Amino acid sequence: LMKGSIIDTERVCRPLANIVETAILNNSCCNVKGCLPDESFEAVVDVEMLMTEMLPVAMAESNLKSFRAGYQIINTSVAMFFSEAMVKDCQSMLNPLIEEHSKLRAKHCIENDLEMKTDGNLVPLVKVANAIGSKYPDLALLDAERDIVAMSNGRCWEAEEGQFDGVLIEFCRRKLLSDEFKRKCNRAVKAEVSLLKSVRHGLSVSSKTGGAIHRENVGASFESSFRNLCHLLQLYYKSIESLGLKAQGVEGGDCIKAKELEVDLLRGLGSCLAKRITEFCIFKSEDDTETGALHFNMSKKGDADYASASTVDYPVFELKCSQSGGDVLKHLRKSFPGSAGIMLSEMWGAIGSNEGLSGFIQFMTDSCLSLVGVPFSLLDKKTEKKLVAHRREGLLHRLEVSRNEEEVASCTVLLLIQQMKNISIYGTDLARSGLVLLKGDKKIPAAVTEDIHNLFDGDSTLLESVKKYAAAKNSKSLAGLLKG
Please state the rounded mean pLDDT for residues 163-176. 88
Between the two ends of the chain, the Cα-to-Cα distance in Å is 40
Cα gap 279→273, rounded to integer Å: 10
The pLDDT of residue 213 is 33
How confident is residue 81, by pLDDT bands cut at 50, 70 and 90? Answer: very high
- 83, 173 contact by CB (below 8 A): no
pLDDT tens readout for residues 126-148: 899 999 999 988 888 877 656 55
Cα gap 9→385, rounded to integer Å: 63
Q: Which residue has the higher pLDDT, 56 or 83?
A: 83
User: Looking at the predicted structure, is the pLDDT value of residue 255 above 90?
Assistant: no
The pLDDT of residue 5 is 56
Cβ neighbours of residue 186 under 8 Å, at least 6 residues apart? 118, 121
* Burial grade of 440 (CB within 10 A; 0-12, 13-18, 19 or more): middle
Q: Which residue has the higher pLDDT, 423 or 58?
A: 423
Tell me, what amino acid is at 317? F
Q: Which residue has the higher pLDDT, 40 or 74?
A: 74
Cα gap 253→421, rounded to integer Å: 15
Which of the residue ranges 11-20, 26-35, 166-175, 307-316 has the most confident prediction, judged by mean pLDDT?
307-316
| Residue 421 zone, left/alpha/beta (φ > 0; ψ -120 to 50; rest) | alpha
Cα gap 51→74, rounded to integer Å: 9
Q: Which residue has the higher pLDDT, 8 or 265?
A: 265
Cα gap 411→430, rounded to integer Å: 11
Q: If you average pLDDT over every residue of the chain, what do you get?
A: 84
User: Looking at the predicted structure, is the pLDDT value of residue 372 above 60?
Assistant: yes
Beta strand 294-300 with 71-74 is unpaired
Question: Facing residues of 31 across strands?
Answer: 80
User: Looking at the predicted structure, is the pLDDT value of residue 163 above 80?
Assistant: no
* Burial grade of 205 (CB within 10 A; 0-12, 13-18, 19 or more): middle
Q: Which residue has the higher pLDDT, 204 or 6?
A: 6
pLDDT tens readout for residues 315-349: 999 999 888 778 999 999 988 877 889 999 999 99
Tell me, what amino acid is at 180? E
| Phi, psi angles (nearest 5°) of residue 59 | -90, 155
The pLDDT of residue 216 is 45
pLDDT > 70: percent of the chain? 85
User: Looking at the predicted structure, is the pLDDT value of residue 431 above 60?
Assistant: yes
Cβ neighbours of residue 91 under 8 Å, at least 6 residues apart? 175, 176
Element (H, E) at 73: strand 71-74
Tell me, what amino acid is at 325? G
The pLDDT of residue 8 is 67
Please state the rounded mean pLDDT for residues 440-463. 93
b (16+ CB within 10 A) / e for 291-304 = bbbbebeeeeebbe
The pLDDT of residue 360 is 94
pLDDT tens readout for residues 392-426: 999 999 998 899 999 999 999 999 999 999 999 99
pLDDT > 90: percent of the chain? 42
Helices (H), 79-178: 84-92, 94-111, 125-135, 137-141, 148-152, 167-171
The pLDDT of residue 102 is 86
The pLDDT of residue 187 is 80
How confident is residue 387, by pLDDT bands cut at 50, 70 and 90? Answer: very high
Which of the residue ranges 25-39, 55-69, 93-107, 300-314 has the most confident prediction, judged by mean pLDDT?
300-314
Please state the rounded mean pLDDT for residues 226-250. 90
Element (H, E) at 398: helix 381-401
Cα gap 384→249, rounded to integer Å: 28
| Phi, psi angles (nearest 5°) of residue 347 | -65, -50
The pLDDT of residue 475 is 85
Cα gap 202→218, rounded to integer Å: 8
- 359, 350 contact by CB (below 8 A): yes
The pLDDT of residue 220 is 62
Beta strand 71-74 with 79-82 is antiparallel
- 267, 227 contact by CB (below 8 A): no
Mean pLDDT lowest among 284-288, 309-313, 446-450: 284-288
Other C-beta atoms within 10 Å of 354: how many?
16
- 151, 167 contact by CB (below 8 A): no
Strands (E), 193-337: 294-300, 316-321
- 348, 274 contact by CB (below 8 A): yes
Angle at 445 between CA 444 and CA 446, to 5 degrees: 115
How confident is residue 363, by pLDDT bands cut at 50, 70 and 90? Answer: very high
Cβ neighbours of residue 70 under 8 Å, at least 6 residues apart? 23, 24, 81, 82, 83, 84, 87
The pLDDT of residue 115 is 64
The pLDDT of residue 150 is 47
pTM value > 0.75: no
pLDDT tens readout for residues 102-112: 888 888 887 77
The pLDDT of residue 196 is 67
pLDDT tens readout for residues 271-306: 999 999 998 888 877 666 567 788 899 999 999 889
The pLDDT of residue 208 is 43
- Coil/strand/helix, residue 403: coil
Cα gap 79→63, rounded to integer Å: 19
Cα gap 97→79, rounded to integer Å: 28
Cα gap 288→307, rounded to integer Å: 26
